[in-house]
């Protein structure tokens, strides 16, 4: 097993709810949005870890916590043993350089008034990546890396298509020679054929530059294709984590089973074995007691309504947070 | 499906063209689109962004009239919707033909309660009394699976979650019992688990009300699981059409083949995916020949000069290509 680059331990984050004047007068307690409720995982050197879950489950919040866009209320994130939220590390910009984030929306994550060249050279200058006279060569090299034509440097973001913008976003992240890429729904806004191009680019870059990638996405087929390991998140907790192929071929947690079976197959005759989830994701304002999934679960027992299952390793599979992981049949 | 006993055509679209713009720039968004939809049938329209899927739907309902010109015909009960005056169109729109849009948050009025918005449709298209309308509104919310329907009528759209809002949209669309539903990417903004619920809902409603559905999507999986017929669009034209089973199993147009292969299914993990080289042509400067020629692996000299027409093969398949991909001879993939 290779070394852990990022060790995330028990990270939790609650966003403070807003209180209106009426709430204060009537003394209603503040409601917090519990986005993350104790997430622990290791990101290992050179791997791609996929993170899947429904919207609102906390997968983007986790990604943002890792790059210090949010500060967790509890838990810790260690990067090569260094606590990234420790007070004396806060001013340290090398972490920001070594762990880079790429965002979902290629239209709002690039400054519309800067050319591609300006966007990329800004990143180079902020981190003092190379002497001023070497910047043009480095830019040309980056354009080459993400397979964009050289004249793209003179253009503004609006002149590019969605796929090309994501290439610019990737180039911006790569400009500062990071070791870890956090890709938050990087290809979700793109058409399938363009998606394939970006996925190929990422796989190729990872191979050449030895990058470690956290790949957050809701497209399960893509995550399966990209990842070495996969974590399934439900209401701010990891319910299952393990080797990608094992998890996709035989998910163990009832939620993973339902989530994976909901992805529509390309085969018109493959309509069977769908597990229907009733209802929707409960609000993170008001997470059910016990196992948070019990309100939608087919296998719930009285124990599930009171006791929170811990993430524990299951023989021959990954780690699963379910009281009945052994009894539940694989599908 | 040839086993179906009787097929009654509901809507016959032929030669539908929509052009946007005025003066020197004209954008041919939809060109020569034609298909027939029968009662209770679900047709899928797939293609990449900008291929003209949504404009096709909007042209049928006359929603693109304000921005561009539509020609051709869309025959609905003996009337051509394309040339029908706006006043007659308003009678059909929302009544006999309903539409649901991709973004439930921007398509619902945030200042009106859900009940008022359902009532609006019923008031315009039925002669029901206020009491009957309220009963129907509750019934519709119930049909689309919104719990405690009676009490939620007085709630506003922001009080519903994304999936619930899409259900409200469907409830509004179906309130006047339309015979045809135009669904423009109804599940694209939703999670897979909710998507499965909404698609099942559309399927069962189509069956129960014998309603035709045109489903626009870019997800081939959604098409495989819900539709019977599918039309693949590229640069404003239909390039391949046929039953879902035959098109997805044995695509004959190189573009459809490329689309199918770009989806990471049944490929070894972490290997390069197939991707169609290049990008779709700009609609402002479409080539004279086949619009796909520049990206096509099977291109020959003729492709750049002449444009292939949609040609009907046996088995109800139509393909617009000079160099069709050979059928695999029955063996399932």
What per-residue confidence (pLDDT) applies to B333?
A: 35
A258 touches chain B (CB under 8 A): yes
What residues contact A268, with CB distance under 8 A and at least 6 apart?
B224, B225, B244, B245, B248, B249
pLDDT confidence bin for B131, thresholds 50/70/90: very high
Nearest chain B residue to A265 by CA distance is B221
Report H helices in A146-237.
162-175, 192-209, 220-226
What per-residue confidence (pLDDT) applies to B5?
A: 47
Cβ-Cβ contacts under 8 Å, B265 against chain A: 221, 265-266
Laid out side by side, the sheet with B27-38 consists of: B27-38, B9-20, B68-76, B79-80
> Residues A261-272: what's their mean pLDDT?
81
What per-residue confidence (pLDDT) applies to B6?
A: 60
How far apart are the CA of B89 and the nearest CA of chain A, in angstroms?
Answer: 33
Nearest to B170 by CA among B151, B154, B190: B190
Enclosing H/E stretch for A123 = helix A116-126
Q: 3.90.1300.10, 3.40.50.2300, 3.20.20.70, 3.40.50.300: which CATH number matches B8-96+178-264?
A: 3.40.50.300
Q: What are residue B326's phi and psi, to 5 degrees?
A: -65, 145
What per-residue confidence (pLDDT) applies to A326?
A: 86
Contact A77, A248 (CB under 8 A): no
- Judged by CB atoms closer than 8 Å, whether chains meet at B267 and A200 is answered as no
How far apart are the CA of B282 and the nearest CA of chain A, in angstroms?
Answer: 11
Contact B255, A191 (CB under 8 A): no
ipTM above 0.85, yes or no: no
Nearest chain B residue to A147 by CA distance is B278
What per-residue confidence (pLDDT) applies to A330?
A: 63
How far apart are the CA of A161 and the nearest CA of chain B, in angstroms?
Answer: 9
pLDDT digits (tens, 9 = 90+) for B256-268: 999 999 988 888 8
- Judged by CB atoms closer than 8 Å, whether chains meet at A203 and B272 is answered as yes
Count of positions (residues) in chain B: 333
Domain A4-320 has CATH 3.40.50.300: yes
What per-residue confidence (pLDDT) applies to A331?
A: 55
Angle between helices A135-145 and A162-175 (to 10 degrees): 130
What per-residue confidence (pLDDT) applies to B330?
A: 44
| Tokens coding A160 | 């590019």
How far apart are the CA of B285 and the nearest CA of chain A, in angstroms?
Answer: 16
A226 touches chain B (CB under 8 A): yes
Asked if pLDDT for residue B286 goes beyond 80, the answer is: yes
pLDDT digits (tens, 9 = 90+) for B199-243: 988 898 899 889 999 999 988 999 999 999 999 999 999 999 999
Strands (E), B128-282: 180-184, 212-217, 229-234, 237-243
Most confident of A14-28, A251-265, B71-85, B97-111: B71-85
Give me the residue spans of the domains in chain B. 8-96+178-264, 110-177
What per-residue confidence (pLDDT) applies to A272?
A: 58
- What residues form DSSP beta bridges with A33? A15
Nearest chain A residue to B295 by CA distance is A193
Give me the residue spans of the domains in chain A. 4-320
A203 touches chain B (CB under 8 A): yes
Nearest to A232 by CA among A220, A280, A222, A221: A220
Cβ-Cβ contacts under 8 Å, B1 against chain A: none
- What is the rounded distance in angstroms from the CA atom of residue A296 to the CA atom of residue A316? 26
């Amino acid at each position: 097993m290779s070394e852990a680059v990022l060790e995330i331990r028990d990270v939790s984050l609650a966003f403070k709810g807003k209180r209106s004047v009426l709430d204060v007068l009537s003394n209603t307690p503040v409601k917090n949005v519990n986005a993350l409720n104790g997430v622990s995982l290791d990101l290992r050197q050179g791997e791609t870890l996929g993170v899947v879950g429904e919207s609102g489950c906390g997968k983007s919040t986790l990604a943002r916590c890792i790059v210090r866009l949010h500060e967790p209320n509890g838990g810790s994130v260690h990067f090569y043993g260094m606590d990234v939220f420790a007070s004396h590390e806060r001013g340290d910009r090398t972490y920001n350089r070594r762990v880079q984030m790429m965002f979902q929306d290629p239209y709002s994550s690039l400054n519309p008034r800067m050319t591609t060249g300006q966007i990329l050279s800004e990143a180079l200058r902020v981190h003092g990546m190379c002497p001023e006279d070497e910047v043009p060569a480095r830019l040309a090299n980056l354009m080459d890396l993400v397979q964009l034509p050289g004249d793209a440097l003179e253009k503004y973001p609006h002149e590019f298509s969605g796929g090309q913008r994501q290439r610019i976003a990737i180039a911006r992240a790569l400009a500062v020679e990071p070791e870890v890429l956090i890709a938050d729904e990087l290809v979700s806004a793109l058409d399938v054929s363009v998606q394939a191009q970006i996925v190929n680019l990422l796989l190729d870059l990872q191979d050449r530059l030895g990058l470690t990638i956290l790949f957050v996405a809701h497209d399960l087929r893509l995550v399966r294709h990209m990842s070495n390991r996969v974590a399934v998140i439900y209401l701010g907790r990891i319910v299952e984590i393990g080797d990608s192929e094992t998890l996709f071929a035989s998910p163990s947690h009832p939620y993973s089973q339902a989530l994976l079976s909901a992805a529509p197959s390309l085969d018109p005759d493959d309509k069977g074995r769908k597990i229907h989830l009733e209802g929707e994701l409960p609000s993170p304002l008001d997470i059910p007691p016990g196992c948070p999934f019990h309100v939608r679960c087919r296998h719930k027992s009285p124990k599930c309504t009171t006791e929170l299952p811990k993430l524990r390793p299951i023989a021959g599979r990954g780690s699963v947070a379910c009281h009945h992981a052994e009894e539940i049949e694989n599908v | 499906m040839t086993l179906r006993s009787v097929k009654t055509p509901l809507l016959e679209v032929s030669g539908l063209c929509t052009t946007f713009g005025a003066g020197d720039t004209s954008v041919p968004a939809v060109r020569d689109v034609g298909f027939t939809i029968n009662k209770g049938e679900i047709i899928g329209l797939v293609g990449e962004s900008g291929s003209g899927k949504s404009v096709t739907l909007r042209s049928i309902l006359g929603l693109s009239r304000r921005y561009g010109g539509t020609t051709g015909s869309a025959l609905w009960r003996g009337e051509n919707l394309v040339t029908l005056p706006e006043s007659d169109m308003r009678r059909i729109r929302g009544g006999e033909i309903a539409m649901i849009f991709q973004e439930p948050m921007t398509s619902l009025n945030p200042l009106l309660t859900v009940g008022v918005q359902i009532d609006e449709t019923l008031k315009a298209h039925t002669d029901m009394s206020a009491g009957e309308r309220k009963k129907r509104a509750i019934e519709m919310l119930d049909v689309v699976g919104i719990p405690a329907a009676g009490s939620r009528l007085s709630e506003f759209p922001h009080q519903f979650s994304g999936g619930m809002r899409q259900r409200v949209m469907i409830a509004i669309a179906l309130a006047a019992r339309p015979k045809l539903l135009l669904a423009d990417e109804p599940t694209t903004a939703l999670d897979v688990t909710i998507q499965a619920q909404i698609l099942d809902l559309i399927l069962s409603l189509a069956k129960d009300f014998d309603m035709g559905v045109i489903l626009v999507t870019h997800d081939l999986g959604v098409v495989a699981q819900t539709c019977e017929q599918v039309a693949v669009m590229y640069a404003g034209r239909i390039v391949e059409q046929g039953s879902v089973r035959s098109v997805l199993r044995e695509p004959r147009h190189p573009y459809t083949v490329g689309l199918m292969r770009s989806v990471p299914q049944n490929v070894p993990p972490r290997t390069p995916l197939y991707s169609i080289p290049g990008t779709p042509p700009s609609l402002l400067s479409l080539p004279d020949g086949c619009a796909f020629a520049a990206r096509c692996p099977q291109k020959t000299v003729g492709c750049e000069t002449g444009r292939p027409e949609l040609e009907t093969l046996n088995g109800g398949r139509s393909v617009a290509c000079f160099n069709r991909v050979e059928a695999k001879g029955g063996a399932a993939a």
